[in-house]
Amino acid sequence: MRKQIVAANWKMNLTLDEGAELVNEIFKGLPVLSEEKQVVIAPPYLHITQTAAQLTGIIDVHLGAQNCHHEASGAYTGEVSAAMLKSAEVEYVIIGHSERREYFKEDNAMIAKKVNQALINGLKVIFCCGEPLEIRDAGTQNAYVEKQIREGIFHLSEIQLNEVVIAYEPIWAIGTGRTATSAQAQDMHAHIRSVVAAKYEHEAGDNMTILYGGSCKPSNAAELFACPDVDGGLIGGASLKATEFLGIVEAMAFA
């Protein structure tokens, strides 16, 4: 059975105290999750050791990071390597988020290098893909997302691919309040699964966890997660409030 995940991407939000408080609030309301369901929290780098300490002994909640550098180490002032993340008990790293692609000019080649760094260092990858509005309006979103996936992760072996989760995040839905309909999400997730199945074994497509991201909230999570190819969500804005985030986790718990 493939994994289901609800992952929190805090982005550049929350002080250390606010982050600690949010994690405590999440713990208080966390529903019991079956074995194949997980929560991931990806705070800013500065929070990671604090959040790691809070997560000690908590089975259902896993630690993530929002990025890593594409080189192993060296003179890259202000950057953080995959090895550093691993040494701080990080398990997942988000790579290729549309905000990194747009504001930090990360292209598919750089993203592929980051994926390699993450995997070499024993991290699992949450690989983000998704089209801008003009591509959706032109109806060419399937080809656009397929190219991101081909150039970002299709150099991996099937064994390496087991350590990758894909997050489909249409850019026009991120932080806009405009969610993809469940039909739009299902269509794209089914497409992604078929692309993975065609490149690797059929089983690799079946086993791939594919998350939806883009204005996911408690009011739409249950409908999205009920889609057969949607295995949970990557959550931005709604992950900053415990009640909202827990509402989405509940939707996964009952999906």
Q: Which residues bind ligand PEP (CB under 6 A)?
A: 9, 169, 174-175, 213-216, 234-238
Q: Which of 106, 169, 191, 244 is flagged as catalytic?
A: 169
In the bound complex, what is the minimum distance in angstroms from residue 237's beta carbon to ligand PEP?
3
- Residue number with the shortest CB distance to ligand PEP? 236
In the bound complex, what is the minimum distance in angstroms from residue 213's beta carbon to ligand PEP?
3
Q: Which residue lies nearer to ligand PEP by CB, 205 or 214?
A: 214
- Is 169 labeled as catalytic in the residue annotation? yes
In the bound complex, what is the minimum distance in angstroms from residue 70's beta carbon to ligand PEP?
20
Cβ-based neighbour number of residue 115 at 10 Å: 26
Q: Per this entry, what is the length of the chain?
A: 255
Q: Which of 47, 70, 97, 189 is flagged as catalytic?
A: 97
Tokens found for residue 199 = 């490149």
Which run of H or E residues covers position 198? Answer: helix 182-199
Beta bridge partners of 94: 126
- Is 99 labeled as catalytic in the residue annotation? no
Q: Which residue lies nearer to ligand PEP by CB, 205 or 231?
A: 231
Phi/psi of residue 150, nearest 5 degrees: -55, -45
Q: Which residue lies nearer to ligand PEP by CB, 202 or 241?
A: 241
Cα separation, 162 vs 36, in Å, equals: 14
Q: Which is nearest to 114 in space by CA: 164, 72, 169, 155?
A: 72
Q: What is the set of active-site residues? A: 97, 169
